[in-house]
Amino acid sequence: MHMDQTGQAAVSEEAAFEPISVSRAVDEIARQIRQEVMAGRLKPGQKLPPERDLCVRFGVSRNTLREALRALEISGLVELKKGATGGAFIKKGDKDVVITGLTDLYYLGSITPEQLTEARVMLADLVVRDVCLKATEADLEALQANVAAAEAAQKTGNIEERARINLEFHRLLVRISGNPILILTMEAILKVMVDYIAEIGYNENRFVLPSRRRLVKFLVERNADEAASEMTAHLRRVHRYYLSQVGNNG
């Protein structure tokens, strides 16, 4: 790696870009840049060569190159900066791209509410069992404090706040796992759920907090089977209600 005139990490001549056919030029440019990232020849923070150089190496026009770079920017792989020190830079991983992608798939109809429910149930089972193995005393205290806060919100009749706290409970659980893939997947599912619940309206659901108390008890006891069973039953009850409300609000 070497530094360009702006002091940014620049790409060396080792990046193996090749001339491409015109018919699928935009896709092929994006594919080659992704390939260089996967091969480790392009790293987060590195600046791609100037447009003129890339156009020559790919054998394409500037408009075609810019379209490809914009597509990579939308996908979260590249950041385009303007000005004297600007250019196209390889980005660090951005979880928002995955979250936005799942949300778009849901609203485009590629993912159904039933499929979302099933994915959440299966993921929660894994997470709860993992928490029984990994949770520290501080983790368990944080979960208990969350349930207490939700109960306080319910007593004051603040159902929206209680719903927010309840969703945070699931974030606390998955963070205990320490697995970034589980955390990212759960965050993506919860983002869709937040929009979904807001669309159909908040409900008191008085069975939620008693179930939450039982779940925490099983977690404290490290009883993975009972904890997973309680979580599964809870989520299926909640989602049966949500699914029953589809079409009732329009």
Same domain (yes/no): 105, 79: no
Q: Looking at the structure, tell me whether residues 58 and 107 fall in a common domain.
A: no
Mean pLDDT in residue range 127-135:
97
Same domain, 35 and 143: no
What value does the mean pLDDT of the chain take?
Answer: 87
Q: Where does residue 244 rank: exposed (0-12), middle (13-18), buried (19+ CB within 10 A)?
A: exposed
DSSP sequence for the chain: -EE-TTS-EE--TTS------STTHHHHHHHHHHHHHHTTSS-TTPBPPPHHHHHHHHT--HHHHHHHHHHHHHHTSEEEE-STT-EEEEPPP-HHHHHHHHHHHHHTTSS-HHHHHHHHHHHHHHHHHHHHHH--HHHHHHHHHHHHHHHHHHHTT-HHHHHHHHHHHHHHHHHHH--HHHHHHHHHHHHHHHHHHHHH-----TTHHHHHHHHHHHHHTT-HHHHHHHHHHHHHHHHHHHHHHTTS--
Residues 161 and 211 in one domain: yes
Report, as an integer, the average pLDDT of 67-77.
91
Q: State which amino acid sits at residue 123.
A: L
Give the domain-ending residue among 90, 121, 138: 90
Band of pLDDT at residue 10, cut at 50, 70 and 90: low
What predicted TM-score, i.e. pTM, was given to this entire model? 0.70
- Cβ contacts of 28 within 8 Å, gap of 6 or more: 20, 21
The answer to whether residues 58 and 135 belong to one domain is: no
User: Is the model more confident about 249 or about 48?
Assistant: 48
Give the pLDDT score at 148: 97
Contact (CB, 8 A) for 11 and 49 = yes
In the chain, the amino acid numbered 51 is E
Range scoring the smallest mean pLDDT among 43-57, 142-156, 178-192, 217-231: 178-192
Residue 125 pLDDT > 90: yes
When pLDDT is cut at 50, 70 and 90, the band that residue 104 belongs to is confident
pLDDT at 22 over 50: yes
Residue 46 above 50 pLDDT? yes
Domain that holds residue 163: 96-245
Q: pLDDT tens across 138-191, in order?
A: 999 999 999 999 999 999 989 889 989 999 999 999 999 999 999 989 998 888
Has residue 189 been placed in a domain?
A: yes
> Do residue 122 and residue 196 come from a single domain?
yes
pLDDT at residue 57, rounded to an integer: 93
Domain boundary among the residues 90, 122, 145 is at 90
C-alpha dist (Å) from residue 43 to 28, 46, 47, 60, 68: 19, 6, 9, 24, 18
165 shares a domain with 71:
no
Q: What is the pLDDT at residue 155?
A: 93
* Residue 181, domain member (yes or no): yes
Q: Which of 97-106, 142-151, 176-185, 203-212 has the highest mean pLDDT?
A: 142-151
pLDDT of 250 > 50? The answer is no
Percentage of residues of the chain with pLDDT beyond 70: 87
197 and 128 Cβ atoms separated by less than 8 Å: no
Query: 19 pLDDT band (50/70/90 cuts)?
Result: low
The tally of domains found in the chain comes to 2
